[in-house]
Amino acid sequence: MEEVKITTEFIKLDQFLKFVNIIESGGFAKQVIKDGLVSVNNEVCTMRGKKIRPGDIVEFDGNEFKVI
């Protein structure tokens, strides 16, 4: 699991996927989230605007990221 530090109170899920360089574009991020391929705290999340905060764990395509 990779730790990712954010310097704001939260980051939206679609922006987070681009921030960690696992998704190339906002359009692709929107699609994989809509298709149910992204999990937040072990639950499938289909809301691209989901607020990701420190302590959350985001998983996509076999990669796990813990937000600190």
CATH number, domain containing residue 55: 3.10.290.10
Residue-level pLDDT, tens digit, the chain, 68 residues:
999 999 999 999 999 999 999 988 888 999 999 999 999 999 999 998 999 999 999 999 999 999 99
Structural domain containing residue 50: 2-67
Query: How many independent structural domains does the chain possess?
Result: 1
8 A C-beta contact, residue 45 and residue 51: no
- H helices of the chain, where? 13-19, 26-34
